Structure 1
Amino acid sequence: MADIEKSELRKKLKADFVANGFDGLSYWQALENALCASLPRCDAKAITDTLSEKYVSVENTKKIPALQMIKVDGIHPTAAIYISLLQRVPQRIMLGKNRKIRFLTTTDRTLEYAKNMLSLQEIERVAMICLDERKRVVNAQYIAKGEESHASVSPSLITQIMTIYKPKYVIMAHNHICESLEPSHSDVSFTINTRKLIGRLGGELTDHIIVNKDDAISMASNTDFSFIFNQ
């Protein structure tokens, strides 16, 4: 594409963004805008067209590491790194919100904390949140991740974390890649078994939060599953 054409395209993209805002753009248009603004020498339209043709959907693109994207013909290494960073910055921002949340004394606060950890994850991940006797967060970390929609948790890792941090209370949380927030049979079995394990180690599992990209539920606050936490 000639430099004059690139310049005209950039002007049009900027005008569309100013007129319609981010919500008025498709994902590919937003990505093209970002590439134009940050990498002025690249052919933003060619890159977004290539990505769209190869990976079809936004969700597919989000899962592609920079090293793999670089191997695609027409994708410059700088653009691949930029796109990869662009996908992950929102995750870091969400995690950063939890620095201001020191205590999880209410269900709403717990849901917020879990959503910040999990709502933007592209694969299923499991988080373990450890609280002291005042329900102050003493540790929160991911303890498992899956290839797509399933993650297996190691009981030995849970034991290790319990031994190190000695929490009074524990909250488990994981995300569903699908839209449903309904706990699966494996979710229920995992919750029951994990509560027993944590109890043997001197702690108490007080909730299991399930998150999708838009919302979250508390199993302890759900009448169908609250019995697990009252045994």
Structure 2
Amino acid sequence: MSQYVLRMSDIPAQDRPRERLLTYGAKTLSNAELLAILLNTGQGPGKLSAVGLGQLLLKELEQQGDPLGQLRQVEAGELVRIEGIGPAKAATVLAAIELGRRVFLARPPERTVINSPEQAAMALSGELMWETQEHFAVLHLDVKHKLLSQQIITRGTATETLSHPRETFRSAIKQGASRILIAHNHPSGSLDPSPEDLALTRQLLQAGQLLQMPVLDHLILGGGQFLSLRQRTTLWEEIPQPE
């Protein structure tokens, strides 16, 4: 008895990935459905649908770890080894990944107003979010919270970075900043602040008080998420910053 395989044409038009994306937005689609749009047509073992081929690709990547993490760094040779994905489909997937990476890494233009942890995280994500080593960065802002520049102050090992208030405020003074926002990443993806993170934050807040240059927040980024220490801790109440 032959096996029945669901084809894209068997799915009602309104339920197909492309139509649902156009109607409801890309966020409503699963990872496999998004890949299906890139792969366009199915084939491979059992003549899979495009969604089935997307599921097969994710299953293959899952053997090496987090499938989306693996997809970010997949190479053409790995893709074409999957039955049903030839050079054309592989090129489309790789082009989409690279375009997404470039959009993600694009810095906000200077003079962008940074008024929330979410805006700061977006500004810093390209530099910090997916790094495999810890980086410590600072956003230099003017008195109206407009972004003057951003700078990586230190780069550490896979588990540790070192910074000092001296380097942080030296760069801010050089850039003519009126206030700063600091951040670093956790390559592990865990956002829990370490005792060292809290001690450094305390030092920087004390220095900000002394220099009359407020530290607006300290963000921890990793694994596609971020944490605001100003929202999580009471340090800003303990060490108030100048207005």
Q: Is it true that 1:16 corresponds to 2:29 in the alignment?
A: no
Q: Is it true that 1:84 corresponds to 2:97 in the alignment?
A: yes
Distance 1:140 1:161 in 2: 10
Shift of 1:192: 2.7
| 1:159-182 deviation digits (Å, cap 9, x = unpaired) | 663353032211113455778654
| Cα distance change on mapping 1:73 and 1:209 into 2, 3 Å | closer
Q: Is it true that 1:70 corresponds to 2:76 in the alignment?
A: yes
- Which of the residues 61, 65, 85 maps onto 2:70? 61
> Which structure shows the bigger proportion of residues in helix conformation?
1
Trace 1:29-178 onto structure 2 (pairs within 5 A): 29-36=33-40, 49-56=56-63, 57-64=66-73, 69-72=75-78, 74=80, 76=87, 78-79=91-92, 81-88=94-101, 91-92=104-105, 95-96=107-108, 101-102=112-113, 104=114, 109-118=115-124, 121-123=129-131, 126-143=136-153, 150=159, 152-155=161-164, 158=168, 161-175=171-185
Trace 1:180-219 onto structure 2 (pairs within 5 A): 182-195=192-205, 203-211=213-221, 213=224, 216-219=227-230
Q: TM-score, normalised by structure 1?
A: 0.62
- Which of the residues 25, 29, 44 maps onto 1:25? 29
Distance 1:230 1:135 in 2: 18
| Cα distance change on mapping 1:10 and 1:58 into 2, 3 Å | farther
Distance 1:101 1:208 in 2: 19
Could you say which structure has the larger radius of gyration?
2
| Cα distance change on mapping 1:58 and 1:197 into 2, 3 Å | farther
Distance 2:217 2:27 in 1: 35
- Equivalent residue of 1:72, what SS? helix
| 1:93-122 deviation digits (Å, cap 9, x = unpaired) | 7x54x76742x4xxxx22132232356833
| Cα distance change on mapping 1:179 and 1:188 into 2, 3 Å | same
Quick check: 2:58–2:67 contact (8 Å CA) kept in 1? no
For this pair of structures, how many residues does the alignment match? Answer: 208
Which stretches in structure 2 are left out of the alignment for 5+ residues?
42-48, 82-86
Shift of 1:84: 2.4
Distance 1:207 1:194 in 2: 10
Distance 2:97 2:191 in 1: 28
Shift of 1:153: 4.7
| Cα distance change on mapping 1:133 and 1:73 into 2, 3 Å | closer
Q: Which residue of 2 aligns with 1:40?
A: none
Q: TM-score, normalised by structure 2?
A: 0.59
Which stretches in structure 1 are left out of the alignment for 5+ residues?
38-42
